[in-house]
Amino acid sequence: MAVVVGIDIAKHTFDIATLQVNGKHRTKAKLANDRDGFEVLQQWLLKHAAPQAWIVMEATGIYHEALAEWLYEQGYRVCVLNPAHVAYYARSQLQRVKTDKVDAKLIADYGNRHQGELRAWKPEPPAIRRLKALVHRLKDLQELEQMERNRLEVASDSNVQASIESVIEHTQQQIAETLEAIKKHFDDHDDLRGQRDLLMSINGVADRTAALLLAELGDIQRFDSSRAVTAFSGLNPRLQESGKLKGHVRISRMVSARLRAGLYMPAVVSMTYNPAIRALAERMKAKGKAGKQIVCAAMRKLLCIAYGVLKSGEPFDPKLALAR
């Protein structure tokens, strides 16, 4: 088995650990999360890890990205884990102490135990990264505008109202500029524009939803099936049964919360205008399913259709979707 190096990353520092043959861990703490720290890590890896070693870390917002990319460029096998996997593993090990060094050891142990399941990570193409940054910025600006509108509703002082209105006006300008930047980004990248047009052939998917799907899913070829896509989105159903509680099903809610939030309204619209999703909703309603269950199923169906058109390269065909 290859050596597995666990890395726990914070904003400014990271800790590393690897399990030795004697069952103890070799560790190094508080390396700077910058180029200087990366160079120290490389010297450590040259001494204690072969070139074919796995370097395993959690996805921690954006803090892991620079180190992961740097390691990838050095030729190491990098695996970026869903934090939920490590959290569940920590519970199974009855972990009571949580420090950066302990977490690095835990990640190394997880990687050793699940080495056959580790998947090599590679950086997203620059075009996808740029699109994701723009889409995330758009979402942040829209949320800011809504917060300011909520404040405006309860503000009574005229000076405060004027201040809020000024912020709203500026935010709207920023939203318009970001939308224009997204449009230009698609215009500058033929492959992304073609994928966007494929997604917009689906009833219920407009340009903003198409941009969100492409930004969050990235390279669609990394998913082996529609099940993998629904699991990534956290829309895969989880059956919960215990004692007298039988047949209670919830979505897993793991991974991409942005994608789930962005699919809600398109799914609601699709229940009216998309024949395949409308038929699904009608079948579930006839079986007495609750409204939330129907909407979640519609979101899942819409995502699977999106995966299908991107994977096949063919526009949405309602007849084909109904046949399935």
Residue 267, classified by CB atoms within 10 Å of its CB into exposed (0-12), middle (13-18) or buried (19+), is buried
Note whether 58 and 153 are same-domain residues: no
**Three-state DSSP state, 7:** strand
Note whether 91 and 146 are same-domain residues: no
pLDDT, position 48 = 87
Q: Is residue 248 part of a domain?
A: yes
Note whether 49 and 82 are same-domain residues: yes
Least confident piece of the model among 49-63, 67-81, 82-96, 309-323: 82-96
pLDDT tens by residue, 306-317? 999 999 999 998
Note whether 98 and 47 are same-domain residues: yes
Is a pLDDT exceeding 60 seen at residue 163? yes
Reported as a pLDDT band with limits 50, 70 and 90, residue 96 is low
Q: What is the number of domains present in the chain?
A: 3
Q: Is residue 208 part of a domain?
A: no
Average pLDDT over residues 192-196: 96
Is a pLDDT exceeding 70 seen at residue 64? yes
Note whether 149 and 71 are same-domain residues: no
pLDDT tens by residue, 166-178? 999 999 999 999 9
Average pLDDT over residues 27-48: 92
Is a pLDDT exceeding 60 seen at residue 247? no
Residues 266 and 203: their CA atoms lie apart, in Å, by: 9
Is a pLDDT exceeding 90 seen at residue 231? no
Of the ranges 82-96, 118-132, 247-261, the best mean pLDDT one: 118-132
**Contacts by 68-71 with C-beta closer than 8 Å and gap 24+?**
68/121, 68/123, 69/123, 70/35, 70/38, 71/38
Note whether 99 and 163 are same-domain residues: no
Note whether 136 and 103 are same-domain residues: no
Average pLDDT over residues 6-14: 92
pLDDT, position 255 = 53
Tokens coding 210: 């198409």
pLDDT, position 253 = 46
Reported as a pLDDT band with limits 50, 70 and 90, residue 100 is confident
What is the domain-level CATH number for residue 37? 3.30.420.140
pLDDT, position 221 = 84
Which residue stretches of 202-256 are H helix?
207-217, 226-233
Least confident piece of the model among 74-78, 141-145, 158-162: 74-78
Domain containing 56: what range? 4-117
